[in-house]
Structure 1
Amino acid sequence: MLGCFLIGLVWIVVYYMTGNDLAIPLMSSLGQYNLVVGIGFMAVGFVYATRWE
């Protein structure tokens, strides 16, 4: 759960920090969809959080 939250947060932060100078091959091909990927990781973390007992 926490791993998914952190991966999503780091993904979005790295995307914003690199800006238009995306040297990471996968991130440069995704463009604005990097936000969808980061929020998707956070959503999966939220699903895990609701199922945690």
Structure 2
Amino acid sequence: MSFEIGTRVERREQRDVTGATILAQDEGGYVLIAYDEGGEGWWPPDALDLAPSE
């Protein structure tokens, strides 16, 4: 799956806050996300779901 910059996603993990925003995507398909709770990290796209519309 390919995400556009700025897309809101939910991380597939057991945490109280799982929201994030797509910042970049590398040539291998991994995406850099900004966590809602602060910080950033690279994730495989199959570990992310589109966030429901607000």
TM-score by length of 1: 0.23
Larger Rg: 1
Instruction: Identify the structure with bigger relative contact order (alpha carbons < 8 Å, sequence gap 6+).
Output: 1
- Bigger share in strand: 2
TM-score by length of 2: 0.23
The structure with the greater share of residues assigned to helix is: 1
